[in-house]
Amino acid sequence: MDLITTTSDLAAACDRLSKHPVITVDTEFLRETTYYPLLCVVQMASADEAVVIDTLAEGIDLKPFFELMGNEAVLKVFHAARQDIEIVWHQSGTIPHPIFDTQVAAMVLGYGDSIAYDALVERITGHRPDKTHRFTDWSRRPLTADQMHYAVSDVTHLRDVFAALDADLKKRGRSEWVSEEMEVLTSPKTYDFHPERAWERLKTRVRKPKELAVLMEVAAWREQEAQSRDVPRSRVMKDDAVGDIATHAPTSLERLANLRSLPKGFDRSKWGSDIVAAVQRGIARDPATLPKLEKPRGNSNGAAIVELLKVLLRMTSERHAVASKVIATVDDLEQIAADDQADVAALHGWRRELFGEAALSLKHGRLALAIEKGRVVRVDRDKAV
């Protein structure tokens, strides 16, 4: 196993790999101190070989790797692909395609919600991966022999995992389910984070249009600041502080200084006036241009409906051996409880067939849940009458 440190060697390796219909891919990166992930190592494997690329090697051009990622004739297999794809997208503007995510496939096949790579390898192959270098500093050079072994084992075990999952998906007729998820994972919209949409990432609940407007402006300011300085968002401002500012809308440095969620003296920093300006921009926004806030659930029985839907979801998950998380989220259930036409994944495609239709039937009394011999069962009320 050789470490690739030159563009010519990389081009030759990518040419060899491109002749295979399936390759496995993994990356090692750091992002604790930066906004954008620092790509340190890429490892890939075909049926014939495994290669490790030193992406920090002086003078190396990663263009052959990026071209391989966009090669439509080669299926790229990842585990938990989102961050790997984000890195490739940021550095090259290329979205790897087509891809197969073994974590998603495992969820569709009932291995649980978001199963970790090492646990999946152990369950499928019986091999227990070495976790020693999971949190190693991959930016340090030279790379050790142990690091190289760890990197290669990641993609060689992934070949066996992919083969087993792919065969099981075909056997159960669920390959198309995974394909639908891959289209979401490979959509540029998934990774194109514009500052004006930064507020969508926050779990802060705002209840008034003015609070939403301020939240949008302050979140956008923080995102731009983090991007321009290439530091994590939390280094600029914590999430709870952004929410606090949205709620209190301080329009002066004096009012900003009164917020407990901000460090002492923050109002006197160079950012103090920026935040006040962002607050003022938010207050000045026309409410008609803002996204609509979710109204409180009008149905007083909404919480009870959601609880029943959770039971139905758990039953469906167990019956069909599909992770509940991949069928529907709690937010999906809340929206279904409030609106039959909710635009949620659970009411589209294979999810609707598996769960969505039954969820609507339960909501409207056409389906009931009962306990029979100590187990919760479905009762079709139309047939029971």
| Residue 108: pLDDT over 60 | yes
The mean of the pLDDT values for the chain is 91
Residue 122 has pLDDT above 70, yes or no: yes
Contact 170/133 with Cβ under 8 angstroms?
no
> What pTM was estimated for this model as a whole?
0.84
High-pLDDT (> 90) share of the chain, %: 76
pLDDT higher than 70, residue 174: yes
Alpha helices (H) in the chain, listed in sequence order: 7-17, 63-69, 82-92, 102-108, 117-125, 145-172, 175-185, 209-229, 233-236, 239-248, 253-257, 270-284, 302-320, 324-327, 330-338, 349-351, 357-363, 381-384
Assess whether pLDDT exceeds 50 at residue 252. Answer: yes
Read off the pLDDT of residues 62-89 as tens digits, 9 standing for 90 and up.
999 999 999 999 999 999 999 999 999 9
Angle, vertex CA 58, rays to CA 57 and CA 63, nearest 5: 75
297-354 pLDDT per residue, tens: 445 567 899 999 999 999 999 999 999 999 999 989 999 999 999 999 999 999 999 9
Peptide bond before residue 291 is cis, with ω within 30 degrees of 0 = no
Phi-psi region of 273 (alpha: psi -120 to 50; beta: other; left: phi over 0): alpha
Which residues, 6 or more positions from 45, have their beta carbon under 8 angstroms from its beta carbon? 23, 24, 51, 152, 155, 156, 158, 159
Question: Is residue 78 classed as helix, strand or coil in its secondary structure?
Answer: strand
What is the pLDDT, as a whole number, of residue 64? Answer: 98
Q: What is the dihedral of CA 327, 330, 331, 333, to 10 degrees?
A: 70
CA distance 61 to 8: 9
With 50 as the cut, is the pLDDT of residue 181 above it?
Answer: yes
Q: Is the dihedral of CA 170, 347, 203, 274 positive or negative?
A: positive
384 pLDDT higher than 60: no
Token representation of residue 67: 């071209």
Neighbour count for residue 28 (Cβ, 10 Å): 24
Tell me which of 108-112, 129-133, 165-169, 197-201 is least confident.
Answer: 129-133
Alpha-carbon distance of 255 to 241, in angstroms, equals 14
Buried b / exposed e along 108-147 (16+ C-beta atoms within 10 A): bbbbbeebbbbebbeebeeeebeeebeeeebeeeebeeeb
- Map out the domains of the chain with their CATH numbers: 3-190 (3.30.420.10), 195-289 (1.10.150.80), 302-384 (1.10.150.80)
Strand partners of residue 27: 42
Q: What per-residue confidence (pLDDT) applies to 385?
A: 39
- More confident position, 267 or 295: 267
Q: How confident is the model at residue 5 (pLDDT cuts 50, 70, 90)?
A: very high
pLDDT above 60: residue 282: yes
Q: ∠ CA(137), CA(140), CA(141), 5° rounding?
A: 145
Handedness of CA 275, 280, 285, 287 (dihedral sign): positive
Give yes or no for residue 292 having a pLDDT over 90.
no
Q: Is the model's pLDDT at 295 over the cut of 60?
A: no
Span 273-297, average pLDDT? 85
How many other C-beta atoms are found inside a 10 Å radius of the C-beta of residue 12? Answer: 14
